Structure 1
Amino acid sequence: MCELLAMSANVPTDIVFSFTGLAQRGGVTGPHVDGWGITFYEGKGSRTFKDARPSSESHIAELIQSYPIKSEVVVSHIRQANRGCVSLENTHPFTRELWGRYWTYAHNGQLSDYQEKFVVSKFQPVGDTDSELAFCWLLEQVVKQFGEQEPDNIVEVYQFIAQLADEVRALGVFNMILTDGDNLMSYCSNNLCYITRKAPFGEAKLIDTDVVIDFKKETTPEDIVTVIATRPLTKNESWHILAAGDWKLFHKGELIMSESNEAKVPV
């Protein structure tokens, strides 16, 4: 399996602290050695860094840990290959343009018997992973449902994507992060959690390496930052654990939609 990391914030924020913890799981404290990637949004633009080497050994990953790129939305992934060879084109996150926006996606899990379901024409995969093909299929279904122009209510789009994700989850494990660069969605199949940090800020300690940060010194009282991860990254904070079928939608760090198999709860 792989591991996911994402961030939604109401002000441009760096993800150095969280990524430092995640990178250790790419070969030091975890077996995810088959590549890694990260995408940062700046307005409608984005910049992506990828490497087919383990994140714990990658010079590019060292750059990300030392260079505080400020962003309001970030998606990252470390890979343990199960479908598709170890190569740059199979490294997450994947990005496609839709409605004049860059949509970015990353997946943790493994799917089976999916080729017949994921028939695509408009959006084509570049690599040979089940993950990328599922992403192309999701976007293709969105276009079929909503057309070539972005609808007025983007939340309805994410609600539809959640229904599609339920279908994909029937094919195996499907933990997903998806963003249009403004909103950030997390969908849980079996392992996903999040934490929202806001005032009063405190100290946080990474699980995977001996790094501590005092967020009071790095933030203002108005800051709101949500971090999503496959497993908690810190040892002294309370993370919200998602159940199978749960999904959350965040905007500028705030939870704006929360749904589970049992209930749908607008926030």
Structure 2
Amino acid sequence: MCQLLGMNANTPTDVMFSFAGLANRADEHKDGFGIAFFEGRGLRHFVDHHSARVSPLAELVKHYPIKSQNVIAHVRKATQGVVSLENTHPFQRELWGRYWVFAHNGNLVDFHPRLHAAFKPVGDTDSERAFCWLMQELAKAHCSVPSIEELSLTLAELMPQLNAYGTFNMLLSNGQALWAHGSTKLHYLLRQHPFGKVQLHDEDLSVDFAQATTVRDRVAVIATEPLTRDEAWVAFEPGQLKVFVDGLPLA
């Protein structure tokens, strides 16, 4: 299956250390990669159907000075849909005057919901169909722009309907918060003062976050598998939905 990476922080933060750990897993997950990150209300969105190991776009991203409070990245191992640009995560849509970004790890069997014209998939993956359906149901459930808490309640009601079709691990963000749902395999960690030196799990690469942070900084990192050694990664419980705001999970 695919690999997910999400980051939510209370200040614009560099994600490239974590992205390097994700890209290192592209040997097995070679059917495309993508990353989307918010800059204010704007969104930068890069996708390529080639492996992050060989993609020139991945090299560009690695050298781009990403500073964002909400980031979603993905490396793909295709289960449904051909290997193509339109089937590469993360996907984006507009709702209530904001960009929304979504990435999925899993497999939804025979999931073909009725979708109206406002939200139609471009590609042919179960993931994009699920994203369109979520956007449609959120729009139906709220007549005006809801709060993060209201959105979280609605998403919690929708998740079991998708779980019924198979494996549904996902990341979703509108630039204000990051929602993460784990049906089988997803982990998160909270990185805050006192910061220290951290090493990637799959590569001999380390960074001392104490040199680039302040005592006020907070970062939540979400990944399919733990990306680093010697940090307190926490596994999601099956079917658990969490929302992260300013680097912390909301109760």
The correspondence of residues 1-267 of structure 1 with structure 2, limited to 5 A, is 1-27=1-27, 31-115=28-112, 118-121=113-116, 122-147=118-143, 149-151=144-146, 153-256=147-250, 266=251
Structure 1 CA distance for aligned equivalents of residues 60 and 211 of structure 2 = 23
1:97-154 Cα shifts (integer Å, max 9, x gaps): 0000001100000011211xx110120000000000010011111111112x212x23
Paired amino acid for 1:54: S
Gaps of 5+ in 1: 257-265
Q: CA deviation at 1:255?
A: 1.2
Q: Is the 8 A contact 1:15 1:68 kept in 2?
A: no
In the alignment of these two chains, the number of paired residues is: 250
Paired amino acid for 1:8: N
Paired amino acid for 1:23: A
SS of 1:174's equivalent in the other structure is strand
Alignment partner, residue 263 of structure 1 = none
SS of 2:108's equivalent in the other structure is coil
SS of 1:5's equivalent in the other structure is strand
SS of 2:139's equivalent in the other structure is helix
SS of 1:73's equivalent in the other structure is strand
SS of 1:233's equivalent in the other structure is coil
Structure 2 CA distance for aligned equivalents of residues 73 and 102 of structure 1 = 12
1:25-79 Cα shifts (integer Å, max 9, x gaps): 011xxx1000000001001100011111101111211222232211110000100
Structure 2 CA distance for aligned equivalents of residues 132 and 207 of structure 1 = 30
Paired amino acid for 2:87: N
Paired amino acid for 2:150: E
Paired amino acid for 1:75: I
Q: Is the 8 A contact 1:75 1:177 kept in 2?
A: yes
Paired amino acid for 1:16: M
Query: Which has the larger displacement, 183-192 or 62-71?
Result: 62-71
SS of 1:236's equivalent in the other structure is coil
Q: CA RMSD in A?
A: 0.9
SS of 1:221's equivalent in the other structure is coil
Structure 2 CA distance for aligned equivalents of residues 166 and 66 of structure 1 = 39
Percent identity of paired positions between Structure 1 and Structure 2? 49
SS of 1:150's equivalent in the other structure is coil
Paired amino acid for 1:102: Y
Structure 2 CA distance for aligned equivalents of residues 215 and 141 of structure 1 = 40
Q: CA deviation at 1:162?
A: 2.1
SS of 2:107's equivalent in the other structure is coil
Structure 1 CA distance for aligned equivalents of residues 134 and 157 of structure 2 = 10
TM-score, normalised on structure 2?
0.97
Paired amino acid for 2:100: W
Structure 2 CA distance for aligned equivalents of residues 203 and 68 of structure 1 = 21
Paired amino acid for 1:232: P
Structure 2 CA distance for aligned equivalents of residues 163 and 99 of structure 1 = 20
TM-score, normalised on structure 1?
0.92
